[in-house]
A and B are shown apart, each in its own frame.
Chain A
Amino acid sequence: MVHPAHPPDLSTTQERCYKVPDGYFGQYVTIGIFAVVGVALVFGTLSLAKLVRPNVPAKDKYTTYESGIDPIGRGWSQTNVRYYLFALLFVVFDVEAVFLFPWAVVFERLGTQAFIEMVIFIAILAFALLYAVKKKVLEWL
């Protein structure tokens, strides 16, 4: 474990207990709090609605909606996930995007060499897209 050269100065116990975490990860504490508050908002409103909304159970109300007729079979029926190949391509390009962002921040400093490397990277992926088009996997049947 690496210890910082200058440990943060927490002179009193009180400060140590009540201090909002700051620094790099401190920002993410705020984000975490907002996530908790968001979930609380959703379920809080639902509980609030519980106080005022009617509750008149009847057997037919709880059947699956299928435009007024009785549902045929189960809702979890077989479906053709047609965009399976699209999803594979998506993963490829999304990973590219992950590499693209850190590169975007520094490539001006690194200059032409970094730029040419990214051109080659994008060209390879663009070639993959071209291949997919040629193979007609991007046709929605």
Chain B
Amino acid sequence: MPEIALTAWQILLVKVLVILTIVPVGALAGGYAEHKVMAHLQHRLGPMYPGGFHGWATTLADGLKFLYKEDIVPDAADRKVFSLAPAAIFVPVLMIYLVIPIDRNLIVEDLDVGIFYLLAVGSISTIGVLMAGWSSANKYALIGALRSAAQLIAYELPIVLSAAVVAMYAGSLSVIDIVEKQNFPFAIWPPGIGLIAFLVFTTGAVAEMTRVPFDMPVAESEIITGPFTEYTGMRYIFSHMFAEMGHMVAFAGIGVTLFLGGYKPIIPWSPLEVVPGVIWFGLKFALMIFLFLWIRPTFPRVREDQLQKFAWKFLIPVSLVLVLAMGAWVLYV
């Protein structure tokens, strides 16, 4: 096989193309999985007709439909901010994908501040949501945006602290180092600490994605679609659909990398090393996505005060204790 030599710019171009393919395809596949998994958990079939085989083309049709929707910006809205908001919400989600390793060498950039970057970039979207809510000049949108900010304030900390616990264990912030350190997935070893950190992270992630049971910001039965009430067509797709699905895919990737051992086999046993890392990553990733989809039809929506109470009086104290427990484990066990 002839060796193909690519210049650095060509490699960069390939990276850009791959990520730009993964994000919309991931969002579409996530949408389809959501339809089907939810339907089967509720004892119904879900979409069956579009595309023939089990309605595989449903989300594709849904996406195309939005392309043909009239673009409406309300007269009362702040036009500039209103049209910038979808980009402000979507681009940070895209940026998370750059530091998720699918295999030892399959990562866009292995930053030495990897998880710090993940957490920092991941929370920028909220500014976009606030922009959308405020510029719409709509009461539902304003309430939704404020709820969204409140939710970030409450659930950012459990995520950050549980990620810090992983960083303490690995002694590094680089995602590759973190995966390499996990001979057993972090959720299994160190016993107890890892599992609790994983559960704290997952709860926080569901809240950050504003999915059920933490979907107060977009609660359709009370405030329509919250910050995105006035959005139509592709603007709506980018600010809500792609952002939510993209967040779900990103958080599943982060969860796999930090807590489930990323591209490594579930146990350090040499016959399992034969299976490529991409497949291990894919299996774990599918498990994470299924977990997120499973939560949705299972739990009812929590109230705003319950949501805050749960974060401040339970999750944050638990994660602080975890940080101390991990420190003691690393130094003395």
A-side residues, CB < 8 A to B, are 18-20, 22, 27, 30-31, 33-35, 37-39, 41-43, 45-46, 48-50, 52-56, 61-67, 71, 74-77, 79, 81-83, 86-87, 89-90, 93-94, 97, 100-101, 104-108, 111-112, 115, 118-119, 122, 125-126, 129, 133, 138-140
Contact = CB atoms under 8 A, between A and B. Distances in A.
A20 B9 contact: yes
B19 A86 contact: no
B290 interface: no
A66 B140 CA distance: 8
B87 interface: yes
Contact of A107 (B134, B168, B229, B308): B168
B90 interface: yes
Nearest to A50: B71
A112 B96 CA distance: 35
Contact of A45 (B68, B140, B173, B238): B238
Given A30-B109, A90-B157, A101 B116 contact: yes
Contacts of A75: 76, 136-139, 141-142
Given A38-B87, A50-B71, A133-B313, A115 B153 contact: no
Given A35-B95, A52-B68, A105-B173, A118 B87 contact: no
B122 interface: no
Given A31-B95, A86-B308, A62 B72 contact: yes
Nearest to A51: B67
Contact of A38 (B67, B95, B323): B95
Interface in B291-333: 304-305, 308-309, 312-313, 316-317, 320, 323-324, 327-328, 330-331
Contacts of A83: 149-150, 153, 308
Given A55-B70, A76-B137, A86-B312, A93 B157 contact: yes
B71 A63 contact: no
Given A49-B234, A111-B331, 7 more contacts: A22-B8, A42-B91, A64-B137, A77-B142, A119-B327, A126-B320, A140-B308
A106 B171 CA distance: 7
B99 to A, nearest CB: 9
Given A64-B74, A64-B138, A140 B323 contact: no
B317 A126 contact: yes
A97 B161 contact: yes
Interface in B136-176: 136-143, 146, 149-150, 153-154, 156-157, 160-161, 164, 167-168, 171-173
Contacts of A118: 323-324, 327
Given A64-B137, A104-B167, A42 B238 contact: yes
Interface string B67-108: 111111111110000000011001100110010000000001
Nearest to A133: B313
Contacts of A33: 12, 16
A42 B149 CA distance: 23
The DSSP consensus for interface residues of chain A is helix
A82 to B, nearest CB: 8
Contacts of B229: 65
A112 B331 contact: yes
B305 A140 contact: yes
A107 B161 CA distance: 16
B320 A53 contact: no
Given A27-B111, A86-B154, A138 B313 contact: yes
Given A42-B87, A46-B235, A138-B313, A87 B153 contact: yes
A122 B162 CA distance: 14
B173 A101 contact: yes
Given A62-B74, A65-B138, A138-B312, A31 B109 contact: yes
A52 B76 CA distance: 26
